[in-house]
Amino acid sequence: MILIAAADRNWGIGLNNELLTHIPADQKFFRETTTGNVVVMGRRTLESLPKGEPLKNRINIVLTGNPAFKKEGVTVVHSIEELLKEIEKYPGDSVFCIGGAKVYKELLPYCDKALITRIDEEYEADVFLPDLDALSEWSIAEESEEQTYFDLVYHFVTYKKENNNGDLTT
């Protein structure tokens, strides 16, 4: 599974169930990377999407503890175990964990790659990603050149998780 997120300097990712900022090139990167693939998200992130609707042209899997939750176009799962069973149907590199904070934290052990748009700003935030730079098993495999959007500076950073032998997983 691949984690995909946009995070600020403090690994902040959202405030009041919304994103911190909208960068068109980042939205395009997210759309192009995930289209035709599987996206896994928490119920709160689904609600934060425009009109609370699932993402088009992608298989949407939503985690919730609510047994009555139903939504057209969404595969609902109620536990990590049920999710892991559901995604066995798909190749690992076609399944993207798209948040939010609770789901990133829970699924990090099952991800071997993380595509992070790292925004060089400090926003007010109430939800955060784990600091991948502080986790010894994660390291930067690739980093884009500096990108700008008006006065915002950001980078596309690919992190990979090392397996127990110290080799980079693919």
The answer to whether the CB of 1 falls within 8 A of the CB of 87 is yes
Distance, CA of 90 to CA of 55 (rounded, Å): 18
User: What is the CA 21 to chain-centroid distance, rounded?
Assistant: 15
Beta carbon nearer to ligand NAP, 83 or 161: 83
Residue 132 near residue 124, CB atoms below 8 Å: no
CB contact at 8 A, 93 and 2: yes
Separation between Cα atoms, residue 117 and residue 5, nearest integer Å:
6
Nearer to ligand NAP, 29 or 160 (CB): 29
Interface of this chain with ligand NAP, residues 80 to 119, rule: CB under 6 A: 80, 98-103, 106
Q: Is 54 in the site for ligand NAP (CB under 6 A)?
A: no
Question: Shortest approach of ligand NAP to residue 67 CB, angstroms?
Answer: 10
Min dist CB 166 to ligand NAP, Å, is 29
Q: Which is nearer to ligand NAP, 54 or 99 (CB)?
A: 99
Binding of ligand NAP at residue 75 (CB under 6 A)? Answer: no
β-bridge pairing 95-97 and 113-119? unpaired
Q: Considering beta carbons, is residue 61 or 160 the nearer one to ligand NAP?
A: 61
- Residues in contact with ligand NAP by CB under 6 A are 5-6, 13-14, 17-19, 41-45, 48, 63-66, 78-80, 98-103, 106, 127
